[in-house]
A and B are shown apart, each in its own frame.
Chain A
């Protein structure tokens, strides 16, 4: 740089130099921060050693010894603490994914209803939102569990619905198809059929749009969708499934698919609570779409449904996704309240493990790391999606 510096700049003492001061405060605060972290960790290590509780994870291999009421992977009390932890993780994932799925759709429709020009519909949506937003989730969970699902009729007086499907205070027992030995073969054919027909649909339609030739994309893909699974059905000797019907034996129904009242209360509670917030997110997103866009779409003669699906929602999604991510993360973390109503997810099993294995700190670290990982993965995936739908601005 040949531009001459103002001569007095050399004479600015360091304690008045803004750059120096900025750098200085940053260095001091980061040193303090590092020292604080160092102190916390060394203090922790010193105390655990003093108390003879070193930070090891060897206990994870010991038998857990406690029962878990519902599990999506095989588990019994003779299995290890590590296995029990994985059961908790799957239970958390199952309830979170179910909750996120239903909360998104419910929230979406409530958000639309809130904006409806129909006075009654809009007021009902408002009441739903305000009710759920202003009552603590824990209270809602207790109401759903002790007030609704446990108040269903006793198991011997179950409500029988066609299926057969039995609803009682012990849960919902569904008749459920289960795979036979040849089942996986059929499932493979079914998946392949769906994938191939979707690809055929897209490729042929693309050609139709580009060349104007009639490619019969709809009949071709539908035929593929039917023929491939039928071949699979024949390959599976016509018996890929057997039907598991719940039968009342002794105290409870045996067989079928069981949804426990604990799971139901937690799913319904989390879904409705989060849906109220998601509804407001969607409402904000829709209102953020400029009025001119709707007017222009109407002026083009689009019917109201297409105005919504082709113009409003795609633009609203851009606004909606970042706050939606927070709601998904909240739902996942809120599922830890399940321990009060007896659904054994990650945190509940973590607490039991602390008590049965006597290792508080290692287990809490594991639970924290697991929630952190789930949250980071969720927001990572949604951020990728978010980047795809955003405007590419010049």
Chain B
């Protein structure tokens, strides 16, 4: 009898010990990313060996194999992503996609523009369905954590309000009880909720998934107010039958840094896209344009010669690019200012939008890039 009790208690203790050694339930362990996003450089005497994590270089490889950069874009937002009279995708965002194609494949036309809705932006990045999302997308910490890697802010925007000029609405308080048209699945929707809750105002949200439906409903009078990023409102207003009957209020309720993003897990591709964006900004700083890029290759400024690939390495060997990758971008697409003016300049294709925060840092704006060297 005593023996059996001993054996039994021994068993109990043993099982307790085992249980304490057993791995914790999966739910309590913080999720671990298997794909590490750090390039670790190990110094080995005599030569430098770069330890590349899994996934490194896969996107550029598939882009080269396919011969095309696949971008998630907007197809009906004037100025940013839309179709011209011949059905060709054009716009500020599309040009950023074309710039990447010019750098990687040498041909700005080698893109495939996949139209996606606002609500699709996260999923296409998470699944890696596209190589790049250039679709009027605000960079937030949560999206960065969950969706993919945000590259570089290319457009500083803020959320505003579009109203009828004869509505008498001037301030946020005037909008108490108004019906407001908004796109679902956007930061806009959340900013609106926060701004009205903070001001203790009531409103009636009318939400659609398609941007065209939002402004269609607004123009027909379903809503008193439409809200979105100011650039988008300016784009939409320009497309109305009578733009002067509508005005954009001088209220900004949010920061909207519009940023192209890439799927997580491939740091080489992340770096390539960032460098292309920097190259366009730097080119404007140095005064390199699509017209003078050929003569600039022999410039007396070493910085310019570096950027255009005539001498030195700005990192292209590690990124797997040609020396003239950035020169191709400037030649085929132009520098940042050229792209901006192409759509939003005084004689732009879309509508006139003063550069404001989107001016170069030298000119009092926020557009700034690390040196290309």
> Chain A residues in contact with chain B, CB under 8 A?
49-54, 56, 65-69, 76-78, 146, 150-151, 154, 169-170, 249-252, 254, 261-262, 339-342, 344, 348, 351-352, 354-356, 358, 360
Contacts and interface: CB of A to CB of B under 8 A. Distances in A.
Nearest to A260: B206
A66 to B, nearest CB: 5
Contact of A52 (B32, B184, B194, B216): B32
A341 B213 contact: yes
Nearest to B128: A51
Interface stretch (B220-228, B268-276, B285-293): B220-228
Contacts of A341: 208, 213
A54 B27 CA distance: 9
Interface stretch (B41-49, B185-193, B234-242): B185-193
B32 A342 contact: no
- Which 4 A-B residue pairs are closest in the complex by CB-CB distance? A355-B185, A358-B146, A67-B205, A77-B193
Contacts of B35: 50-51
Given A51-B35, A51-B265, A358-B147, 14 more contacts: A49-B31, A54-B26, A65-B190, A65-B193, A65-B194, A66-B189, A69-B206, A69-B207, A252-B177, A340-B213, A342-B217, A351-B119, A352-B119, A360-B122
B31 A66 contact: no
Contact of A53 (B146, B210, B217): B146
A52 B142 contact: no
Interface string B197-213: 10000011111111001
Main secondary structure of the interface of B (DSSP, over half): mixed
B197 A77 contact: yes
A90 B206 CA distance: 18
B185 A51 contact: no
A150 B179 CA distance: 13
B178 interface: yes
Give chain B's interface residue range (CB within 8 Å of chain A).
35 or more
Contacts of B33: 50-52
B142 A358 contact: yes
A64 to B, nearest CB: 9
Nearest to B35: A50
A47 to B, nearest CB: 9
A77 B193 CA distance: 7
Given A49-B31, A67-B207, A352-B184, A150 B220 contact: yes
23 contacts: A49-B32, A49-B34, A67-B205, A77-B190, A77-B193, A78-B197, A146-B220, A150-B221, A169-B221, A251-B178, A252-B177, A252-B178, A252-B204, A254-B177, A339-B184, A348-B184, A351-B185, A352-B119, A355-B185, A356-B185, A358-B122, A358-B126, A358-B147
Contact of A170 (B179, B185, B186, B216): B179
Contacts of B118: 355
Interface string B312-327: 0000000000000000
Nearest to A69: B205
B348 interface: no
B177 A51 contact: no
A354 B119 contact: yes
Contacts of A251: 177-179, 224
B97 interface: no
Interface in B167-196: 176-179, 182, 184-186, 189-190, 192-194
Given A150-B221, A150-B222, A53 B31 contact: yes
A223 B264 CA distance: 74
A154 B219 CA distance: 12
B123 interface: yes
Given A67-B189, A67-B205, A146-B220, A355 B146 contact: no
Nearest to B147: A358
A93 B222 CA distance: 25
Contact of A358 (B34, B143, B210): B143
Nearest to B55: A50
A66 B220 contact: no
B222 A169 contact: yes
Contacts of B190: 65-66, 77, 356
Contacts of B217: 146, 150, 342
Nearest to B177: A250
B122 A355 contact: yes
Given A339-B209, A341-B213, A360-B123, A52 B31 contact: yes
B208 A169 contact: no
Most A C-beta atoms less than 10 A away, residue of B145, B190, B206: B206
Contact of B222 (A170, A340, A344, A351): A170
A252 B221 contact: no
Contacts of A49: 31-32, 34
Contacts of A67: 182, 189, 192-193, 203, 205, 207
